[in-house]
Structure 1
Amino acid sequence: MSNDMIRVVDLDKENRRSKKWLIVVILLLMIASGSTLYLWWDQDVNFEAYKTDVGKTASNSLGRLTLNEVIIDDNQILLNATFEPGKEFKPDHQVFFFPQILVNGQDYMVRNGGQSIAKSANVYTIYNSIKMDDFPADEQLELVIRYKDWNVETPIEKPWEFQVDASQEQLQQDREIFSIDKKVKHIDQQEITIDKVVSTPISTTIYFHAEESVVNDALHFKIQSKSGQSWAFATPYPLNKEGTRWGSRVDALYLTEKNYTLIPINKEGSKIGAAIKIKKDE
């Protein structure tokens, strides 16, 4: 196993503006060398149209942090940064950051995932995937990115902060929407409404909701093409603190065909509901 890790936190949408975020879930995954987020960022796909090169550095007593790139996706922002600890700061374990992002002055964050790769004793590459809800439709976005929380006991008295102008104009042009509005039964027989599937060159997300909180593991899905190729959506995440609105995302999947089939499945991959034919919006 590698020392590369991903750490994920779900955020309480009501209380996250307070000094300390309420961490609902912390999931620490040990994964093989060249882990998911790193591979996603480095794969041979052209994301230039959705990427903003930043190259700005901020410093404080704990070290230097350079924000390299920002990528805008559907209800998601990805960050690539480099952290160089100061000479007096010597962390005794791998450092993870959980940045805060304001989009046009508002906080839309619902989940904050991060990965840290030690390039040397004094340099870390930091990747973050920040999932959001009700992302604004504006073509031009003003981002305030603050690296103010991490997994180190030493508090960040002076956050590393960056102001970035980014565009989602090309993303909006390339985004494909499959409106669904179909009801299915959850594994506990609770009724769930599948709202839509949104696909971009960066990721594909299934959005669904229930009238009451989904108390068991949220519904898993599989999307299948006409040729029989399929993709499992096995990592649903809540979009609100009540647990009634959910998303399930697969990175680096772009649905470009007109028709697909969406199949509700359980954690083991077995079909638990009728297949739903989905069609790209005109």
Structure 2
Amino acid sequence: MSLYEELNNVRIDVSAYEEEMLTEIERKRWEKRVLRKLPKRRTPSMIKWVGLAGAMVLLASLIIPLSGTALAKMPLVYQLIESFIQVDHPPDLSNYKTTVGETAENAYGRMTLNEVLVDTDRLLISATLEPNKRINRFDLEVLKPTIFINGEEARDPYLTQSIGRENDGAYTITGDVPLNTLPHFPKGDQLQFKISYNSVRKDEKVVIDKPWVFDVRVSTKQMQKDTVTYEINKPLPLKHGGTVTINKVVSSPVSTTLYYDVSQAKIGSFWIRLVSKGGKIKELQFYESKISGERTYHRYGPLDLKKETYWIVAEDKNGKEISPRVPIK
């Protein structure tokens, strides 16, 4: 096992220790220790530069105050948000997501909230759970977060979540939480989130006395800047009767979302499609509502709507178009 692997497995309670800077002697001692641990290479110059780089990284980590957040940011098994947005070639979302690295612990184990990202109307979450012996995969089926935005709860039964077990016994948790149930989505480019995981299953659902709770401030400034909304508000008459109202299309660096109203049409007799010259665009998510005024939506991967022309059209069960095409522009 390497020096870095040893450090990754260390669990330290730093609450009883004071934060102190290393002395010059201690710095030299650590540098020599790191150099001894590094494997020898054929090229002497490479030994020098790699050794010094490793020493600097280690020294920097020792000089930084060992707060709970700093320890949580030590290497840990987790999924990047880019890895679960369901596209073949996910974009780099570094400019849009917030790295958290905050850890909470209770009798069931230690959870780290790794990253969050606010898309146009949803919250994407990446977390890691390091459980103790009291919890297993089945217990986690009801482990779903309660979300508050600026103090208002975002209630939605259609949360999508995936839990995967890693070789070291940890669980990677990824969540896709719709935020469109809020009566009024908060304005501004700074949002305060409270994310709470407060129940597991032990034969039956158990509410945790000390839930995993995270308070996170998220900036949406860059996401808002790079998101384009195409207001359409056009009726789409269907050949067999009924009308679908196309509301808008929202294009972000993470997704493309088509919103429409089906309250004046017979659900189940048609399907709304997004098409281009290359064919039909595959939906990643969809939600249908018969309630007047409540928007149905289809979500797709990120598309460049300025570079290529796309249309919205209705199809019957056989894939035949049964409405005029409405361009997105």
Same fold (TM over 0.5): yes
Specify the structure having the higher radius of gyration (Cα).
2
- The runs of 5 or more residues in structure 2 that have no matched partner are 1-81
% of aligned pairs identical?
A: 30
Aligned residues: 242
- Structure 1 residues 175 and 59, CA, compared in 2 at 3 Å: closer, same or farther? same
User: TM (normalized to structure 2)?
Assistant: 0.64
Contact preservation (8 Å) 1:188, 1:216: no
Alpha-carbon distance in 1 for matches of 2:187, 2:226: 14
Counterpart selection for 2:176 from 129, 136, 141: 129
- Structure 1 residues 93 and 72, CA, compared in 2 at 3 Å: closer, same or farther? same
Counterpart selection for 1:233 from 251, 276, 283: 283
Q: Does 1:270 align with 2:320?
A: yes
SS in 2 for 1:172: helix
Alpha-carbon distance in 1 for matches of 2:232, 2:305: 15
Name 2:55's counterpart in structure 1: none
Matches within 5 A, 1:229-268: 229-233=279-283, 235-238=285-288, 244-257=294-307, 259-266=309-316
Alpha-carbon distance in 1 for matches of 2:194, 2:121: 16
Name 2:64's counterpart in structure 1: none
Alpha-carbon distance in 1 for matches of 2:304, 2:143: 28
User: TM (normalized to structure 1)?
Assistant: 0.73
Name 1:221's counterpart in structure 2: 272
1:125 aligned partner, one-letter code? T
Name 2:232's counterpart in structure 1: 180
Greater strand fraction, Structure 1 or Structure 2: 1
1:115 aligned partner, one-letter code? S
SS in 2 for 1:232: coil
2:167 aligned partner, one-letter code? S
Q: Determine which structure has greater relative contact order: mean sequence separation of CA pairs < 8 Å that are 6+ residues apart, divided by chain length.
A: 1
Greater helix fraction, Structure 1 or Structure 2: 2
SS in 2 for 1:270: coil
Name 1:147's counterpart in structure 2: 197
Alpha-carbon distance in 1 for matches of 2:177, 2:130: 22
SS in 2 for 1:46: coil
Alpha-carbon distance in 2 for matches of 1:247, 1:136: 20
Contact preservation (8 Å) 1:109, 1:130: no
Contact preservation (8 Å) 1:97, 1:126: no
- Structure 1 residues 197 and 39, CA, compared in 2 at 3 Å: closer, same or farther? closer
Alpha-carbon distance in 1 for matches of 2:213, 2:291: 27
Name 1:119's counterpart in structure 2: 166
- Please give the per-residue CA displacement for 1:50-109, whole angstroms capped at 9, x wherever unaligned: 100001111111111111000110001100000122123344476463212111111234
Alpha-carbon distance in 1 for matches of 2:268, 2:200: 28
- The runs of 5 or more residues in structure 1 that have no matched partner are 1-35
Alpha-carbon distance in 2 for matches of 1:272, 1:132: 32
SS in 2 for 1:233: coil
Alpha-carbon distance in 2 for matches of 1:151, 1:254: 43
- Please give the per-residue CA displacement for 1:85-142, whole angstroms capped at 9, x wherever unaligned: 2123344476463212111111234331001111136211000001121532311110
